[in-house]
């Protein structure tokens, strides 16, 4: 459920008409709902309530400071994948002790900054990374808290580009090597082993792969404890999917996911960490755009929008579906017309949808891409010298620009002229 609903024939974000924000901010822009972020965060809190836990929001999905602060105020920690994200999480008010640092390619400099600033744990993904972290920690006279990410070789049954838990993927340490690597870690003076980490992929619409992976983590935890390791935390990653197409089956709810966690690892007495991103931010955001032209081709009609693949890359990158709705509610009984919905970028890949049935639209009309809060603004670029798409947040009847659109002047000034020119 989200808080982008029609009221009096107009799409509203909570209590604010979307058209009012478009008039004030200009299009395109991302629009986030505080109430939806809050609701989704609380669903996870409720699902894990019986267990000691920390929800480390995967800020890679939507990392605006105001989004982070909203979640931090509810008690969220953060999952970061670069020191840039680490510093931003800190700037949003998330304490280092509530931040887990994931990712296969942390540099020594990133490790140093996070260790100095304070960090809950590094999720280590390889033996060379473990050795590097040990050296960095020793040089600082510290011990780095570490969970080792294992690769359970589970098919997440999701898009191949966001599946991470198969043995052919670059992530984690194979289960067959896990005990040896934990032993190696335990022998390093700069490392303090605190737990096991797993993340099998994103946009999972089925609980079976989670069940399989967490079952393997539970078995491993028992073995590791028998080997003498103090495994006190299990980081179970993120990945729960969201309904992108309202007409499709609804993915499992956080409550059902919580039940899987309790069933598989609940009796181990570990503190549970999860790293949800998409389920918290995805349906909490829309991308609002205006129709520039309606172009009638020989075979089809094109709806040319002022948003493009640089603003929302998921359709061209993953072939992803986003529901597109007009901001003015169509009158009941309006007949749908098929459009190819495209942006102005000079690539055929700049296509959001083909032959999408929509109510008849005209130049100047506003449309909204639903479920655009996750992996939307964070993946935006300035390709074609198009200004980075701004972000706006609503809270009840208020709204605020939380990342402004840069001016062309600012964009041009970011480059500098080589001295010989
Ligand atoms: N944790 C890690 C290590 C990830 O790589 C990702 C995303 O792929 C996430 C958490 C968040 O996943 P999602 O947004 O699907 O919940």
pLDDT tens readout for residues 192-205: 999 999 999 999 99
* Cα of 276 from ligand 1 centre, angstroms: 6
Render 217-280 in DSSP notation, one character per residue: HHHHHHHHHHTT----EEE----B---SSTTSPPPPPHHHHHHHHHHHHGGG-PEEEE---HHH
Percent of the chain with pLDDT over 70: 100
Q: So what's the pLDDT on residue 375? A: 98
Q: Which atom of ligand 1 approaches the CA of 239 most closely?
A: 15
Q: So what's the pLDDT on residue 248? A: 72
What pTM, to 2 d.p., does this model score?
0.97
* Cα of 344 from ligand 1 centre, angstroms: 31
Residue minimizing CA distance to atom 8 of ligand 1: 202
Q: What is the mean pLDDT of residues 161-177?
A: 82
Q: Which atom of ligand 1 approaches the CA of 238 most closely?
A: 16
Model confidence band, residue 289 (pLDDT cutoffs 50, 70, 90): very high
Which distant-in-sequence residues (6+ apart) come within 8 Å of 285 by Cβ? 30, 31, 32, 33, 62, 371, 372, 373, 374, 376, 377
Residue minimizing CA distance to atom 6 of ligand 1: 238
Model confidence band, residue 6 (pLDDT cutoffs 50, 70, 90): very high
pLDDT reading at 334 higher than 80: yes
Q: So what's the pLDDT on residue 159? A: 78
Pocket of ligand 1 (CB under 6 A): 58, 61, 79, 102, 162, 199, 202-203, 237-239, 275-279, 374
Model confidence band, residue 155 (pLDDT cutoffs 50, 70, 90): confident
* Cα of 317 from ligand 1 centre, angstroms: 17
* Cα of 59 from ligand 1 centre, angstroms: 9
Model confidence band, residue 246 (pLDDT cutoffs 50, 70, 90): confident
pLDDT reading at 305 higher than 80: yes
* Cα of 217 from ligand 1 centre, angstroms: 18
pLDDT reading at 7 higher than 90: yes
Model confidence band, residue 3 (pLDDT cutoffs 50, 70, 90): very high
Q: What is the mean pLDDT of residues 342-368?
A: 97
Strands 121-124 and 99-101: parallel
Residue minimizing CA distance to atom 9 of ligand 1: 238
Tell me which of 51-60, 143-152, 159-168, 264-273 is least confident.
159-168
Q: What is the mean pLDDT of residues 238-253?
A: 88
Q: Which atom of ligand 1 approaches the CA of 201 most closely?
A: 8
Q: Which atom of ligand 1 approaches the CA of 149 most closely?
A: 3
**Residue among 227, 90, 254 nearest 148 (CA):** 227
Residue minimizing CA distance to atom 10 of ligand 1: 238
Q: So what's the pLDDT on residue 161? A: 75
Catalytically active residues are 346
Q: What share of the chain is helix, strand, coil (3-state, %, to 5)?
A: 35, 25, 40
Q: So what's the pLDDT on residue 170? A: 78
Q: So what's the pLDDT on residue 1? A: 74
53's tokens: 């836990």
Query: Which tens digits make up the pLDDT trace of 261-286?
Result: 999 999 999 999 999 999 999 999 99
């Amino acid at each position: 459920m989200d808080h982008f609903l029609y009221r009096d024939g107009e799409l509203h974000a909570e209590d604010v008409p979307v058209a009012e924000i478009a008039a004030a901010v200009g299009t395109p822009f991302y629009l986030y709902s505080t109430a939806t972020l809050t609701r989704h965060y609380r669903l996870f809190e409720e699902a894990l309530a019986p267990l000691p836990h920390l929800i480390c929001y995967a800020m890679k999905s939507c990392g605006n400071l105001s989004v982070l602060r909203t979640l931090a105020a509810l008690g969220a920690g953060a999952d970061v994948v670069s020191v840039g994200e680490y510093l931003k999480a800190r700037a949003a008010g998330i304490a280092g002790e509530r931040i887990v640092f994931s990712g296969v390619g942390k540099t020594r400099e990133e490790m140093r900054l996070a260790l100095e600033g304070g960090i809950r744990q590094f999720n280590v993904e390889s033996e060379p990374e473990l050795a590097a972290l040990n050296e960095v920690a020793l040089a600082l006279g510290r011990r780095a808290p570490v969970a080792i990410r294992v690769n359970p070789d589970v098919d997440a049954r999701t898009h191949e580009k966001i599946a991470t838990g198969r043995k052919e993927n670059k992530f984690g340490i194979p289960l067959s090597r896990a005990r040896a690597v934990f032993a190696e870690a335990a022998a390093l003076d700069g490392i303090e082993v605190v737990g096991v980490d797993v993340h099998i992929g994103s946009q999972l619409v089925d609980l079976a792969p989670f069940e399989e992976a967490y079952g393997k983590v539970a078995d491993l935890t028992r073995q590791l404890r028998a080997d003498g390791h103090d495994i006190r935390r299990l980081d179970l990653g993120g990945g729960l999917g969201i309904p992108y197409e309202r007409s499709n089956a609804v993915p499992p709810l956080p409550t059902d996911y919580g039940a899987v966690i309790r069933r598989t690892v609940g009796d181990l007495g570990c503190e549970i960490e999860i790293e949800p991103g998409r389920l918290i931010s995805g349906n909490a955001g829309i991308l609002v755009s205006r129709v520039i032209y309606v172009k009638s081709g020989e075979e089809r009609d094109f709806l040319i929008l002022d948003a493009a693949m640089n603003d929302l890359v998921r359709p061209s990158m993953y072939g992803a579906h986003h529901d597109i709705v007009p901001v003015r509610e169509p009158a009941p009984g309006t007949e749908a017309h098929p459009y190819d919905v495209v942006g102005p970028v000079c690539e055929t890949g700049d296509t959001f949808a083909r032959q999408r049935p929509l109510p008849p639209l005209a130049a100047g009309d506003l449309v909204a891409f639903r479920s655009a809060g996750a992996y939307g603004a964070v993946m935006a670029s300035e390709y074609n010298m198009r200004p980075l798409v701004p972000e706006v947040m609503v809270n009840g009847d208020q709204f605020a620009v939380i990342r402004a659109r840069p001016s062309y002047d600012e964009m041009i000034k970011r480059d500098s002229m080589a001295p010989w020119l």
